[in-house]
Structure 1
Amino acid sequence: MNASKQLLSQQRQPLIRFLGKRTIPSKIDHTPQAHPAAPTHQLPESFAAYRQKAQQHGPLNQQHHFSSGGIGGQSGASLGPVEAGKGNYFDRSELPKRFQRLAWTQAEIEAVESGGASLFA
């Protein structure tokens, strides 16, 4: 009881000390600037000029239409066979026998369906 009185009587002192009063700058420059890590350190001339050079999953400056052979214009079969590389598998059934899923026994099925109670009854 005496220990709690002593702890409560002490004033809490924050561990962070702030230096001076918070001030808001009077003039802030909002003009566009290149990112400090940008490779050219300059802004593009226009968005259209940027888009001509930009790449995202392929060139952005090509005009694709759905019916003219662009996205979805070709069937998946026409793109050629898709095969997993050596040591890679698409499905667990393609793995060697020791890594394939084991068949459930009737006892396991009953244990799951009963919530495990059938194991002790």
Structure 2
Amino acid sequence: MRATMSLFRSPSIRFLGKRSAPKSVDHSPRVHPASPETSLPDSFASYRAKAQQHGPLGRAQFTSGGLGGRAGASLGPVRPNEGQFFDRAELPTRFGRLPWSQAEIEAIETGGASMYA
């Protein structure tokens, strides 16, 4: 019975007047106030030519021998520095994974209910 009572409850927020969008809002593009740039780019193409996102986005760098201009094998072997490891299996055995006990497996499979049953 209490569940149906909550359906008839009136909202506690009251708005005055009719819903309408203001007519005086300026939607023209502007530079963000915190942007280091002082002007907008002329076009998206000119913006993309200068933009950086995990490396240059322009095609000129790729074809002129820059990033992606050579095969990865030509860059030489990749080895970690002293004390750094690429894979967990390369770590000393004290940092290896511990085997799961049967009780832990049972607790995970039952969502923890087996710990209290």
Normalising by structure 1, report the TM-score: 0.51
- Which whole-Å CA distance do the structure 1 matches of 2:78 and 2:71 have between them? 13
Overall identity of the aligned pairs, in %: 54
- Which whole-Å CA distance do the structure 2 matches of 1:73 and 1:98 have between them? 42
Cα separation, partners in 2 of 1:29 and 1:52, compared to 1, 3 Å: same
- Which residue number corresponds to residue 62 of structure 1? 60
Greater Rg over alpha carbons, structure: 1
Cα separation, partners in 2 of 1:71 and 1:44, compared to 1, 3 Å: closer
Structure 2: 5+ residue stretches without partners: 103-117
Q: How many residues align?
A: 96
Partner amino acid, structure 2, of 1:64: F
Normalising by structure 2, report the TM-score: 0.52
> Greater helix share, 1 or 2?
2
Cα separation, partners in 2 of 1:41 and 1:22, compared to 1, 3 Å: farther
Structure 1: 5+ residue stretches without partners: 109-121
Alpha-carbon shift at residue 89 of structure 1 (Å):
1.6
- 2:22 corresponds to 1:25: yes
Alpha-carbon shift at residue 48 of structure 1 (Å):
4.2
Match for 2:72 among 66, 73, 76?
Answer: 76
